Structure 1
Amino acid sequence: MVRVGLVGCGIISGMHLDAWAQVGEQARVVSVADIDPERAAAAAERSGARAVEVEALLADPEIDAVDLTLPHHLHRDYTERAFAAAKHVLCQKPIAHTLDDADAMIAASQAAERTLVIAEATRYDALVPKARELVDSGAIGRPLAVQVSMNWWQGGEYLQTPWRFDVGLMGGGALVDGGIHYVDYLLHYAGLPVEVSCFTRRVREAYAGEDLAFVQARHADGLLSALAISASSRHTPSYPLRVWGDEGSVIAERGRLVLRRERGEEETFELQHSGMLGPIRDFLACLATGGRPLSGGPEAWANLAYVHAAYDSAETGRVVRLDSPPTG
């Protein structure tokens, strides 16, 4: 059994704790830590773990792995501390709030010979491998373009988190926060582009950074892609993916995938969303086999590089190339 310590007992930690509870005898959360004793106590009661100081958690020789559900700007520090203590690390997305921090986290993982998985839950959605399978099989011919959009209303308890009102700590706005899940979605099909152009807008004063972003990109093989992110849309959230080919298309929304071919032929697949359970199962599989994760450091680095290139473009009003790392 893998013994896990969770650091950071804020909003997202509940999703992690509930997912850990579903893996049975494979793993168990034994300790939780937070700077707020009341939050730590609540997480301990929810999970059956003990609440401890973070220093004690990291120093505990019986803990094999650490789950970090912390603000973006703290990811590097606590990841490096966990690796220094010979723990494996599952870290909430994004990997970090700067590319320098992301580089340091990947280097620390390699130096410690410990696993680093970034909890990009959408990559583990059953739609992702099935859509990729259809595209790779030639079902839509030669892929020409990929479009991903995410529209939701961000509010309530989520926007009461103080650090989310500091763009410097967040590393940006909606694109680097909830939006990076859908950056990951897009890059899984299209790969990191060579050129990016972006426009952003801050619609609501309650939101730190942008809550609206449109990104267009060109990829090395000629593929074109578009990403639209809105955190200020008052309607049922939608998560569509479209991959167009010269012989058909794949259209996906959460739980449903449609393959459309010429002459109006359609095939529909009903699939389940795994939520946070997907990255946790992958993390445990890597610890058991020594294999590479589906969402590891390099994949998460690419997501962040895309976001930073988009921010560079939005700020400067120019097309940004990714043949070298973006600034920031």
Structure 2
Amino acid sequence: MLSVVTLAGASLATLQYSTHRIGQTQVHMVAAPMADYRVVMTEPAPAGEDTYLETTAAFARRTGAVAAMNTNFFRWLNAQSLPSLQDYQKWIMGKTNPEGIGYRALRQTCLTGRGTIPAGLLGTYIVNGRVVRPYERGYAAMVHFPAQGGIEFYRGRLPAQPFHVVSGSQQLLEAGKKLPVDGSDRTSPKAILGKRGNEYIFLVSDGRGNGGSPGVSFPQLQAFLLEQGVTDATAVDGGESATLVVEGEVKNHPRDRYCELARWLPAPTLTFLNPKEEAREAAMAMGRSLRPVGANIGLVPRDQPRSSFSFAFWEWIQQRLLTRLRAWRDWG
């Protein structure tokens, strides 16, 4: 039997954040009027079709998003990447780069929230009309955010004029009705993008014991979402990547063992870190080890002024500086 208890609620202008319980698992939800907020997403790199790994917390700080969560699946280290202690040692010493991820670069990303590791996104990803990843029949559940605002849900096809598009594992609800879902995963944290009337819905559930929550299944989340009045919903990248940030605070309990390792062990060679960003990311984590992800989405108040310079420009400047610094270091 589904048991839902509202634990807390907070309001930021017209944005509403609330926590609930489904059984013993904590669920975090944001509801925001579409008319009051515009959608921002992780931008593609200045050159090439990719993004850089970045924590959801750092993304929210950088874009000014009052609410943010992760979206697409992406390339990351797994249990097979470093199967032995010897593999760990070689990785930390910079002798191997599993999945193309060097330890020094990962440490920089984990400590500052962002770095220079290409994300390797999976599924369709479109930002401001620019195709970062095209639709190639995989990850057929897609969420579209039109240029004029709003949210639309697609399966197996793209809208005629895509503006912002992210991909998920499966669509849970359509027009207030449950869709067939894979209910076998009952422990992993989940991340959901949804719609309730004219509101955006961001939802993240804890799991795998994180925050004391054993986890919930997709069928349980379907029932919960319908009880909350949500009519359309799609699951995006869950597991340890699932992260929800509201007004500068990480609300759920994400963890990542590789970032935990990077926080404890220094890089054996010189690494360039911004002390201020390192301190901010450590404070944001609040003892939790945040996983860098390949794609984030956020909500920014429509009356908030846009930056006069694009992120792509500043990213280009940063990449040029890092390239020159590395060349100088290697030459010396």
**TM-score normalised per structure 1:** 0.27
TM-score, normalized by length of structure 2?
Answer: 0.26
Query: Which of the pair is proportionally richer in strand?
Result: 2
Higher RCO structure, 1 or 2 (CA under 8 Å, sep 6+): 2
